[in-house]
Structure 1
Amino acid sequence: MALLDFPEGIELLTVTTGEGPWRLLLFATRTKEGVIVQLLGGDKPHVGAIVISLPRPSRSVPGKISTTTTVLPLYGHQDDEVARPVAEALARHLDQPVVVVAGVHIERATPADIEKVKENSSEALRLLLQQLL
């Protein structure tokens, strides 16, 4: 974990998971009213999808937090497949708005590569939640 000296109410946290082309870097900026996440990795980190998730009361389960989520994938990109679960889980657990910008590119990725990236993003989320909760 890296915690830098920011103005009061702002924290920068980092998480790294995986190795080789499946290595992911997660940078999170926590403010008093929300979290901004960058999830990058692979051969060519980039901006592939932007997701915003807003917590709200569940319509079907009283007392449970759900989310309203907007997903903006760049044309031809599938980065929302890792960005959306991270954004929604953080918004539910923290009860705050969350923005995730994700860009993970593995040249000629196989289904196994994509599954490994998803596993590593889940692990990055788990590690980040440990730091935030």
Structure 2
Amino acid sequence: MEEKVIERELSFAKLTIKFTKVGKDYHILLQGGDSSHIGCTVLALPRPSLKGDGRPGSTASVINVTGHKDEYLCRYLAEKMAASRNATVVCTGGFHVDGITEEQIGEVQRAVEEIEI
């Protein structure tokens, strides 16, 4: 994968995630809703399992823009890809919809969780 774009039409908005290979590492750009923006940046690094079960894990550092709630989405993607690809991953972006409901937030989270990495 040099570059891959995944678009999901949600019931109320569109979600776009762009994966770009950078050497042996990856950059992920997440955007969508009424106004795309950068609300969060996550740097994830692969590491051995902390549970001792042999499954790879990852550790993340997060920078949030004050008042933004994009961390869950970016952190989920960055940590999952870092562990599965044994690579350094940066995920940045934001998803914004004015007046978003709890149900809609859940829909966005599920859409991100269902993406194959």
TM beyond 0.5? yes
| 1:63 has 2:62 as partner | no
Where has structure 1 moved over 4 Å in runs of 4 or more? none
| Number of residue pairs matched by the alignment | 117
Within the candidate set 71, 77, 81, 1:80 is matched to: 71
| TM-score normalized by the length of structure 2 | 0.91
| CA pair 120-62 structure 1, distance change in 2 beyond 3 A | closer
Higher fraction of helix: 1
Unpaired stretches in structure 1, ≥5 consecutive residues: 1-9
Amino acid at match of 1:54: L
* Unaligned segments of structure 2, at least 5 residues: none
Paired letter, 1:100: C
Which residue does 1:36 correspond to in 2?
27
Separation in structure 2 between the aligned mates of residue 89 and residue 64 of structure 1, nearest angstrom? 12
2:10–2:108 Cα contact (<8 Å) kept: no
Q: C-alpha separation between the residues in 1 aligned to 2:62 and 2:26?
A: 16
Using the TM superposition, give the Cα deviation of residue 113 of structure 1 relative to its aligned residue in structure 2, in angstroms: 1.2
CA-atom RMSD, angstroms?
Answer: 1.5
Structure 1 position 27 matched with structure 2 position 18:
yes
Q: Are 2:10 and 2:107, in contact at CA under 8 Å, matched by a contact in 1?
A: no
Counterpart contact for 1:53–1:68, Cα < 8 Å? yes
- Alignment of structure 1 residues 70-109 onto 2, 5 Å: 70-109=61-100
**Match of 2:98, SS?**
coil
